[in-house]
Structure 1
């Protein structure tokens, strides 16, 4: 097997293990030992492929951000079809039903991780800022089709939708919000940006 392929396989194995640990034990339980034990490999394997644990976590976060691409593509393809609030609700429910919601406290929990991420992600919180841009791009596409008001600000609306929905999902110990809960928030945020009766 080529070396590059083997390294990629190990990285994916470790990233998948980190996701499972993070979802199960939260940021405080995400240690290098927990990750390698979950992945079923020796602790030294992680340190052969990454400078240290925070370098590993930074790449893990960015890998999970890049995995949002299919949701972004699906939302772009939805432009011009179906009610705008329904499309946004589906995208937000998919996003926050994933590991994304667990990554945010991980970033705030580890100062060194935030410093590492700043090297490639200069502003905002990865996952949230990317998601806000995805929503804003979709709203721009709908504005161009006349399905969002011409004076609406997609960037502000995207940020508001992500922030409001994150608050719904932030407590991972309680019952998960329903699509109806998310739709109610989406309708409230977009109320002034859609043609009359479109919410």
Structure 2
């Protein structure tokens, strides 16, 4: 792209380009040159907006985290409606879309990115941590609604669901699991916590 041409929403365009490169080629393929070529802009554009490539990637992760935080409100609001199992299965399928799975792999792949995320106060495995908080908030709301037993251990159930969900979706070589497989896993994990339906 010629210099001097204004790009609207540079950050958003660069993030979308990075996600496409990551999905197509995995963490090895993700370089600043690959991102700017995918976004059809000069390499200097990225470096004008971010201190370095790992800072760019950290902002990409934070952008995805904001999306999870937004979905938390919606999911918590679904408490008391529909099926608990279906609500959780849908939330996990949404959480572990291809981009999120690829970004989690990227976080484990790049030392510099993990350092940037730690400097920004993020601990554990970002995205998985926020996903766990989202599921925990929903489970807590369902317990308050009386659809889970009073002693349902939300702090154990939430990371168990997210961990099992990640294992189902993490295989990049095959198609993502179908809705039935995700639902079956959720039903198994929360079986003891579900309050029996009233006749």
Normalised by the size of structure 2, how large is the TM-score?
0.92
Instruction: Report how many residues are paired.
Output: 193
Residues 188 and 60 of structure 1, relative CA distance in 2, 3 Å threshold? same
Alignment map for 1:75-114 (pairs within 5 Å): 75-114=75-114
* Equivalent residue, structure 2, for 1:158: 158
Contact 1:7–1:49 (CA under 8 A) maintained in structure 2: no
1:97 shift after superposition:
2.1
Note the aligned Cα RMSD (angstroms).
1.6
Residues 119 and 157 of structure 1, relative CA distance in 2, 3 Å threshold? same
Instruction: Give the gaps of 5 or more residues in structure 2.
Output: 1-5
Find the aligned partners of 2:50 and 2:175 in 1 and give their Cα distance. Answer: 36
1:119-172 alpha-carbon deviations (Å, 9 max, x no partner): 123421111000000000000001011111111121211100000010001101
Is 1:171 equivalent to 2:171 in the alignment?
Answer: yes
Normalised by the size of structure 1, how large is the TM-score?
0.92
1:83 shift after superposition:
1.3
Instruction: Give the gaps of 5 or more residues in structure 1.
Output: 1-5
Find the aligned partners of 1:132 and 1:189 in 2 and give their Cα distance. Answer: 14
1:81-130 alpha-carbon deviations (Å, 9 max, x no partner): 11111100011111112411111110000011001001123421111000
1:195 shift after superposition:
1.5
* Equivalent residue, structure 1, for 2:119: 119
